[in-house]
Amino acid sequence: VTLSTPRATDVEGATPVIETMLAHTSVRRFRPDAIPEAHVDLLVEAMRRAPTSSAMQTTTVVLVTDPAVRRSLRPHAGGQAWVAECPLFIVSSVDLRRNDEITRERGHVNRAGDLRVLISATEDIAIAMQNASLAAQSLGYGSVMIGGVLNGTREIAEVLGLPPRVIPLLGLCVGRPDVGRQDPRPRIPRVVAFHRDHYRLTPEEERTALEIHDEEIIASNYYDGRRIPAADVGLERDPVPDGAYAWREHVARKQARIWWDDATPKLWDDLRALGWRGCEGRGST
Residues forming contacts to ligand FMN in the complex (CB under 6 A) are 24-26, 28, 78, 80, 144-148, 170, 184-185
Shortest reach from residue 120's CB to ligand FMN, in Å? 16
Closer CB to ligand FMN, 150 or 157, in the complex: 150
Determine the Cα–Cα distance for residues 230 and 219; give it in Å rounded to an integer.
22
Start-to-end C-alpha separation, the chain:
44
Shortest reach from residue 25's CB to ligand FMN, in Å? 4
Closer CB to ligand FMN, 112 or 160, in the complex: 160
Determine the Cα–Cα distance for residues 241 and 167; give it in Å rounded to an integer.
42
Closer CB to ligand FMN, 84 or 100, in the complex: 84
The amino acid that residue 278 corresponds to is G
DSSP 61-116: EEEE--HHHHHHHGGGTTT-HHHHHSSEEEEEEEEHHHHHHHHHHTT----S-HHH
- Contacts of residue 277, Cβ cutoff 8 Å, sequence gap at least 6: 113, 114
Do residues 96 and 58 make contact, with C-beta atoms less than 8 angstroms apart? yes
Shortest reach from residue 237's CB to ligand FMN, in Å? 27
Shortest reach from residue 74's CB to ligand FMN, in Å? 11
Residue nearest to ligand FMN (CB): 147
Determine the Cα–Cα distance for residues 19 and 186; give it in Å rounded to an integer.
17
Do residues 233 and 205 make contact, with C-beta atoms less than 8 angstroms apart? no
Closer CB to ligand FMN, 88 or 144, in the complex: 144
Closer CB to ligand FMN, 52 or 143, in the complex: 143
Do residues 184 and 101 make contact, with C-beta atoms less than 8 angstroms apart? no
Shortest reach from residue 249's CB to ligand FMN, in Å? 15
Q: Decide: helix, strand or coil at residue 42.
A: helix
Q: Decide: helix, strand or coil at residue 172.
A: strand
Shortest reach from residue 88's CB to ligand FMN, in Å? 16
Shortest reach from residue 256's CB to ligand FMN, in Å? 18
Shortest reach from residue 2's CB to ligand FMN, in Å? 17
Do residues 42 and 135 make contact, with C-beta atoms less than 8 angstroms apart? yes
Closer CB to ligand FMN, 144 or 271, in the complex: 144
Name 177's bridge partners: 30
Closer CB to ligand FMN, 97 or 132, in the complex: 132
Residue 172: Cβ-neighbour burial (10 angstroms; 0-12, 13-18, 19+): buried
Closer CB to ligand FMN, 97 or 213, in the complex: 213
